[in-house]
């Protein structure tokens, strides 16, 4: 008599072990899934880095321009004014008109003759400053206030140069400013720029 496991019929084959997936296929699937995840992560980082780079390039415009305007304000004050009344040889330029009138929202603004305003004592002509290429920011020069830099009070011997922008067009502007104070024929500039919402 032939014996087998309980319930087995005569001549039945013993159960076959389940087929295993080859190890190399498992490894290949893990590598492919990990690779896709890695490429996606690197792509996201690259996009973020490129956006930051482009935003930083745009903010460089604001920093360079307000620096140039402040140097113009210093030069205008420190120059000798021929024919001026005694004691008034040195004077700060009076406030300028903002250019453009409204803050650009995520687009460049092409100035026409916007910077051709003022006279020998006032505004952009006094500062001898002009921009002809497209700009991302609104620029302004204020003498004696009202000032946007926190802690800077109105004073006839103080000026502020401001750049305001809205690179992402969300109506939450960025602010860059530098200030200077005139005394005894020279201008002392603030040692740092004030920056608020830099990449807005």
CB contact burial 42-67 (16+ within 10 A = b; e otherwise): eeeeeeeeeeeeebeebbebbbebbe
The reported pLDDT for the residue numbered 47 is 72
In angstroms, the CA 186 to CA 200 distance is: 35
Confidence of residue 3 (pLDDT cuts 50, 70, 90): low
Q: What is the pTM of this model?
A: 0.74
The pLDDT of residue 114 is above 80: yes
Confidence of residue 70 (pLDDT cuts 50, 70, 90): very high
Higher pLDDT: 83 or 46? It is: 46
Confidence of residue 176 (pLDDT cuts 50, 70, 90): very high
What is the mean predicted confidence (pLDDT) over 104-110?
Answer: 93
The reported pLDDT for the residue numbered 129 is 96
Q: Any bridge partners for residue 117, and if so which? A: none
Confidence of residue 169 (pLDDT cuts 50, 70, 90): confident
The reported pLDDT for the residue numbered 134 is 96
- Parse the chain into domains and list their residue ranges: 40-82+89-196
The reported pLDDT for the residue numbered 178 is 96
Confidence of residue 2 (pLDDT cuts 50, 70, 90): low
Q: Any bridge partners for residue 159, and if so which? A: 143, 180
Closest by CA position to 198, among listed 161, 168, 155, 178: 168
The reported pLDDT for the residue numbered 104 is 94
Give me the percent of the chain exceeding a pLDDT of 90.
56
The reported pLDDT for the residue numbered 128 is 95
In angstroms, the CA 32 to CA 47 distance is: 22
The reported pLDDT for the residue numbered 37 is 80
């Amino acid at each position: 008599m032939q014996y087998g496991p309980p319930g087995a019929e005569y001549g039945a084959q013993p159960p076959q072990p389940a087929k295993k997936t080859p190890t190399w296929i498992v490894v290949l699937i893990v590598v492919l899934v990990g690779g896709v995840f890695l490429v996606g992560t690197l792509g996201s980082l690259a996009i973020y880095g490129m956006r930051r780079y482009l935003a930083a390039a745009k903010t460089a415009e604001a920093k360079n321009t307000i620096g140039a305007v402040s140097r113009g304000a210093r030069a205008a004050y420190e120059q000798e004014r021929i024919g001026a009344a005694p004691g008034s040889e040195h004077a700060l330029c009076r406030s300028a008109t903002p250019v453009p009138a409204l803050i650009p929202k995520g687009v460049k603004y092409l100035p026409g003759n916007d910077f051709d305003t003022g006279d020998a004592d006032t505004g952009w002509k006094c500062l001898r400053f002009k921009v002809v290429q497209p700009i991302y920011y609104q620029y302004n020069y204020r003498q004696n206030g009202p000032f946007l830099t926190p802690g800077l009070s109105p004073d006839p011997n103080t000026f502020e140069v401001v750049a305001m922008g809205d690179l992402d067009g969300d109506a939450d502007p960025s602010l860059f400013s530098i200030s200077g104070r005139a005394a005894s024929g020279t201008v002392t500039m603030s040692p740092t720029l004030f920056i608020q919402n830099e990449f807005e």
